[in-house]
Each structure stands twice: as C-alpha cells, then as structure tokens.
Amino acid sequence: MPVGILYSVSGDYAVIGREMLNGILLAIEEINANPLYDFTLAPIVRDPGGSLDKYYQDCHDLLYRHGVRHLIGCYTSAARKTILPLLEGANALLWHSARYEGFESSNSVIYLGAAPNQHMLPLLRWLLQQQDVEMYHVGSNYVWSWEMDRITREVVIPAGGNVLESKLLPLGEENVDELIADIIIRRPKVLLNTMVGKSAYSFYRAWHQASLQQPWMNEVLKLSLTLCEPEVAMIGAEALEGYLVSASWFQSINTPANREFLRCYRQRFGESVSPSVDSQSAWLAGHLLARAIHRQGNAEVEAVRCAVLQDEMDSPAGSIRIDADNNHSWLTPRLARCHNGKLESFWQAPEAIKPDPWLAWVDLDNLGQRGDS
C-alpha cells in the first residue's frame, strides 16, 4: 500500500525533518517485517524543502498521480494548513506528527503531536508557581507563534505577570542582533522562545555570546516549546544550558518501550543520531496506521479512521490513544531541563491528558491560581 511521506529534509528546519523521516522509515521497516500483517507499506518520499508551494505540489502529486490516501508528514502548521484543502477534497488522511498550536480539528487529520493544553499550559502553570513573570517572547512569524503568544498573554497577565514584548522574525531569518539588543534594554526575568529552524539556532548562539558580556542574562529563566535533542546536539550544550522544555517525550524517559525504541533507532541509523519528540511521533504514526489497517482488513480512509479511534498503544511516550471528539492524542505532558547537552525530564503529569485543542475546558484567567491542566 502506498504511503506518502512529506518531510522537509532540506531547508530551514531540515534537522528536524531528517529525524522525523527516520522515525517513519524505521516504523515502516518494522511493519513490513512483522508476520502479523498480510500487507506491506510502500513509502513514497517527498522533500518539500520547507517551501509551502512545494508542499502543495508534492501533496497534489501524491494524491492524484500516485493515488495515495494516507500521508505522514508536515512539521510547521503553515505546511499543514497549506495542504489541508487538498486532503479534504481528496478524502485523504494526514498523520500529523508535530506538536502544534491547536484551534483546529479536521476529519482529514490524525493529530499525534501535543495540543496547547498538553505543552504550553503545563509549562506556564509550572512557571507561575515558581516566580513573578516579566517575560520577553521571541518567535517565528507564523500561526504557531501567534497563537502561543495569545495564549501566554491570556494566562500570564491575569495571574499578575507581564509580557514585556513579543518579537517575531520571518522563518529563516538569522540576523538577531537587533532582537538581542532590545532584550538587553528590557532586561526580562523570563524568556519564552517559540522560534523554529535556523532563526532559533542563531538566536540561541547569539544569546549565549551576549551573556558573556551581560552576566544578568545567565539568571533569566529560559523556556522553549520547540527545542529538542537533535538541535541540542547541533547547537552545542554550552549555548543551551539551563533551558526548560515542554514536550510529551524525551529520550530520558526510562521505560521498556522507550528503551527499545531508542535501541532500534540507533541500531538502524547509528549511535550518533538523536531522535526527537517529533521523530517518535512519526514512528508512532506508522504503527497506528498499520494497526488500523490490520484491524479493519483494508486501508479505506473511513475504516482506518474508525479503527484508530478504538485503539490504544503502549508507545515510547506512554499509553497513547486518539480522542474520538477531535482526532487528537491523549498524551502525558513533561518538562525537561537542558543540562550538559541532555534534556533531563524533571516533571511529568500523573497520567495522559485529554487533548483540548480549542482550550474549551480550561479557565485561562485562573490557570496560575488553580493549577488546571
């Protein structure tokens, strides 16, 4: 059965794209070697290179030239939203493996990444319990950072905190000198970083260099919603020391399922590789798709969608199931601290949390006081 793979392994966020591609290719190899299944998955891989036009073209080609009805891919929400009309028009299904900003629910998408109540809100709740918040937000100028900024303000300000400034740079912008200069003037106590790709890498390094001359910057509490293990390895441990990261998976999770995933991943791609939360989700996408096809006996989109909503899987990130109300995943939020080049998990929710992509069940005004998830 053909499966479209749509990850950018070149371009602005290629580091993440390569690890996501590794995740799904590993899953497909495992699926095709599993005697339980009487079918095989045939990946048709496309590299849009971070170009939205290319995402559209590649998706159209996969749907209408190759007859693909299941696609696994996309990192940015801009890419997902670009191809969503094509998916809905063709009655195809995207297995979306990246965390995202929420406020979307389509029958043409299975959302495997964390929704805002599973990544942003746990981080903000923890933050508000630690200290007074005078925050500076830096991000990439597209819907992900727009929504993260809005949610942050709706939580932090009623709790008595303040967002001093929000500066969003175009995707791929690497000149961050003016941004660093403005931060030095504002002297925030908290930094929230929602940048992606090369912009983020430039900012991390520039902050570190500036902190050598501005010692107070080392006391700033630095938060990220995007930083992950392969980026830590590439950027360098010194520049990222002390960052706090919110995600549903880290390499440091000490469970049999996660240890086995890491063993297989490194055996296949080499000991030096560093999978991310998104590559783990890409791997999960492949296995959930195969389990649904096996359960129903066919790969028709409606049949597969119904089957995956009845499934529950012990994954590297813990027990995973898809919520029938919104096609999003029940996930366990976690927080980690970057120390000596590793993301070390120091907090996790006691159980998986129901996805709330619309934040319909959370009182944002009282989040800091009540500790809602």
Q: Which of 23, 29, 78, 35 is nearest to 56 (CA)?
A: 78
pLDDT in tens, 190-206: 999 999 999 999 999 99
State the pLDDT confidence band at 368, using cuts at 50, 70 and 90. Answer: low
Confidence band for 363, pLDDT divided at 50, 70 and 90: confident
Q: Where in the chain is the domain with CATH 3.40.50.2300?
A: 2-114+253-330, 117-251+334-370
Helix or strand or coil: residue 336?
strand
Can you tell me the distance from the alpha carbon of 309 to that of 342, in angstroms, rounded to the nearest whole number? 34
Q: Could you report the per-residue pLDDT of 284-301, keeping only the tens digit for each?
A: 999 999 999 999 999 999
Confidence of residue 365 (pLDDT cuts 50, 70, 90): confident
CATH T-level fold of 117-251+334-370: Rossmann fold (3.40.50)
Mean pLDDT of 41-66: 99
Tokens of 326: 């919104």
pLDDT digits (tens, 9 = 90+) for 21-40: 999 999 999 999 999 999 99
pLDDT digits (tens, 9 = 90+) for 126-181: 999 987 899 999 999 999 999 999 999 999 999 999 999 999 999 999 999 999 99
Pairing of strands 318-322, 329-330: antiparallel
Residue 247's beta-bridge partner residues?
Answer: 334
Question: CA-to-CA distance for 358 and 326, rounded, in angstroms?
Answer: 10
Which architecture characterizes domain 2-114+253-330 according to CATH?
Answer: 3-Layer(aba) Sandwich (3.40)
Alpha-carbon span 247 to 331, nearest angstrom: 10
Cβ count within 10 A of residue 356: 20
pLDDT given for residue 191 in this prediction: 99
pLDDT at residue number 199: 97
pTM of the full structure: 0.95
